[in-house]
Amino acid sequence: ETGVTQTPRHLVMGMTNKKSLKCEQHLGHNAMYWYKQSAKKPLELMFVYNFKEQTENNSVPSRFSPECPNSSHLFLHLHTLQPEDSALYLCASSQDLTGTGYTFGSGTRLTVV
């Protein structure tokens, strides 16, 4: 596979559940990102990893917990979410942190019930 792959594509979870989103990139990129896209809002940066090290946490609540075991994989662990956390969660990767553009995955559509 090439590009950035996200699984699952759709997820419905209760507020007491624990689930994880997975992102994998086969582009040899060194930086990976989690973005949240809510209705009628800009894409919101959540976390940035560079060479497996977290370089930014954009004031994200602790019920979202990222994990980056290597430069190719990124996870977002979810627990005790709220209905307002329902959104499209997008993973992206880039060669470095120069901000010259990302490759996005197709996203995970999360619904919290």
Partner 1 sequence: DQQVKQNSPSLSVQEGRISILNCDYTNSMFDYFLWYKKYPAEGPTFLISISSIKDKNEDGRFTVFLNKSAKHLSLHIVPSQPGDSAVYFCAASIYGGSQGNLIFGKGTKLSVKP
| Residue ranges that bind partner 1, judged by CB under 8 A | 4, 6, 9, 31, 33, 35, 40-43, 45, 48, 50, 55-56, 90, 92, 94, 96-107
Q: Considering the complex, what minimum distance in angstroms separates the CB of residue 1 from partner 1? A: 14
**84: CB partners within 8 A, 6+ apart:** 112
Q: Residue 64 or 102: which CB sits closer to partner 1?
A: 102
Q: Residue 79 or 109: which CB sits closer to partner 1?
A: 109
Q: Considering the complex, what minimum distance in angstroms separates the CB of residue 80 from partner 1? A: 27
DSSP per-residue codes, 20-74:
EEEEEE-S--SEEEEEEE-TTS--EEEEEEETTEEEEE-S--TTEEEEEEETTEE
